[in-house]
Amino acid sequence: MTILVTGAAGFIGFSVCRRLLANGQRVIGLDNLNTYYDPTLKTDRLAILQESANFSFLRIDLAQDDLMACIPAHERRSITNVLHFAAQAGVRHSMKVPAAFIDANIQGQLAVLELTRHLPALRHLVYASSSSVYGRNAALPFRETDRVDRPGSFYAVTKRTGELMAECHHHLHGLPVTGLRFFTVYGPWGRPDMAYYKFARAIFAGEPVTLYEGTDLARDFTHVDDVVEAVVQVMDHPPKDGAQLLNIGNNAPEPVTRLVSILERQLGRKANIRLTPRPSADVEYTWASIDRIRDLTGWQPSTDLESGLATFSQWFLDRMQRTV
């Protein structure tokens, strides 16, 4: 039994790989190690994974390289599950370089879908979508049955396109496929472009913390440990008929101002807050209904924001001390 994980050096991919390896699974990791954010973080994650004899790594650009040629035939025959987390992230970044999102999120999705047709032992394809697909929806909490035809960013367009591609692929070829709509994942080894990480870095350095104006800005912050548990459970629950979509969220939206206050206490420094208008690409509120995944697997998030940020803050401080 071998599990193929794309985006293995990314935040979620790395975290899932660590769990799979700890469970004794054999993992093939793919990543292009791009420079969207500091690649040192990616190579450091990768180095941890490579400590396991059950992990092998291939540096591959899904949008450019021939997966069939890159993955040896004997490896393809052993792959039982594909976890596809490789993507170009960043809501506001998609307004600057939309072509990069076409390459990574649409071309990359197509490459993985086509690869699955040549994996004879494959049981389930699980891929990363995003809460961003809910766009400008006003009804809360967000449910998988909601309309998702009013995107608020080009990033959301590419992630919704990936969902439609997966649905069509299942219709044409019959492979069980599940898309996971992740809600604001945070925690140790996280992405430096995420707001919570930026806030921590600014507080630590004594630099201004930019918050958007308005008192209602809130996010359904979801700790990476809960996300990993959800992925592992979903992997063993392929849909019996059709393609499925599942929200992966904490089901407990928190004001962004509370997140900053917690970081202030945990980092031992006061934030220098600067208010700015909210960009049109950023939604005001996210909140995941998790009834569907709870009914399917029994999964329930267990990490509250305070304790979840404590694990991140400790990791962040340790990393800052090592890199200073």
Instruction: Express each pLDDT in 190-210 by its tens digit.
Output: 999 999 999 999 999 999 998
In sequence order, the 6+-apart residues with CB closer than 8 A to the CB of 312 are: 186, 187, 188, 190, 196, 200
Residue pLDDT, tens place only, 26-80: 999 999 999 999 999 999 999 999 999 999 999 999 998 999 899 999 999 999 9
DSSP 236: T
What burial letters (b/e) apply to 306-322, b meaning 16+ CB within 10 Å?
A: eebbebbbeebeeeeee
Nearest by Cα to 231 from 116, 21, 85: 85
> CA triplet 143, 195, 199: central angle to 5 degrees?
145
- Token duo for residue 279: 């960009």
Active-site residue, selected from the candidate residues 155, 186, 196, 197 = 155
The per-residue DSSP string of 280-309 comes to TTS-SB--B--HHHHHHH-------HHHHH
**In whole angstroms, what is the distance from residue 8 CA to residue 29 CA?**
5
Residue pLDDT, tens place only, 107-162: 999 999 999 999 999 999 999 999 999 998 989 999 999 999 999 899 999 999 99
324 has a pLDDT exceeding 70: no
* CA-based radius of gyration for the chain: 19
Q: How is the chain split into domains, by residue range?
A: 2-323
Residue 133's SS3 state is helix
Does the annotation mark 36 as catalytic? no
Positive or negative, the CA dihedral 167, 172, 175, 176 is positive
pLDDT of residue 102: 94
pLDDT grade, residue 105 (50/70/90)?
Answer: very high
Burial of 48 (0-12, 13-18, 19+ CB in 10 A): middle
Percentage of the chain modeled with pLDDT above 90: 85
Architecture of the domain made up of 2-323 = 3-Layer(aba) Sandwich (3.40)
CA distances from 280 to 51, 136, 146 (A): 43, 10, 21
pLDDT of residue 277: 84
**In whole angstroms, what is the distance from residue 22 CA to residue 251 CA?**
28
Percentage of the chain modeled with pLDDT above 70: 98
Nearest by Cα to 312 from 165, 201, 214: 201
**In whole angstroms, what is the distance from residue 85 CA to residue 88 CA?**
10
pLDDT of residue 215: 63
